[in-house]
Amino acid sequence: MKPITDTDMIQFVGIKKLDPMDQELINRISTENFEKIKRKLKNIVKLRVHIKTYEHEGKQKKYSIHLQAAAPAGILNVDKEAGFDLARTLNKAFENMRQVIEHTYHQEGEQGTERQ
């Protein structure tokens, strides 16, 4: 993946290949989760959501989602999350991103109070 540019806060890749209902769903879920990620990182962040679709023999599409968050402290990636339900797969990818942030910055126990 290329680094995130300064032009957009949330950048979508591959979304134009989806139907309008799926585009709206991705936009809504990404916007909600973007705020949570920004709060966890405690800073301005840029987010890239890369969506690929795969056609299988049946009628269902399989979705593959890659996330990349760029903050002043560094770039965090969720390499691959795949599934047949778009909303569930996207939410799972964002949950994995929050876990990567917690692991990277050791935020598991923080609840708004500082340890003395």
- Domain segments of the chain as ranges: 10-105
Which pLDDT tens digits describe the chain residue by residue (116 residues)?
Answer: 555 544 458 999 999 989 999 999 999 999 999 888 888 887 777 899 999 998 877 788 899 999 999 887 788 898 888 999 999 999 999 999 999 888 887 755 555 544 44
pTM: 0.80
Report how far apart the first and last C-alpha atoms of the chain are (Å, whole number). 41
Q: The dihedral of CA 17, 22, 28, 33: what is its sign? A: negative
- Can you give the pLDDT at residue 114? 47
* Superfamily designation of domain 10-105: Ribosome hibernation promotion factor-like (3.30.160.100)
Helices 86-105 and 20-41, packing angle to 10 deg: 10
- The reported pLDDT for the residue numbered 71 is 82
> What's the DSSP call for residue 17?
G
pLDDT for residue 107? 59
Query: How many Cα atoms within 13 Å fall on the side-chain side of residue 113?
Result: 2
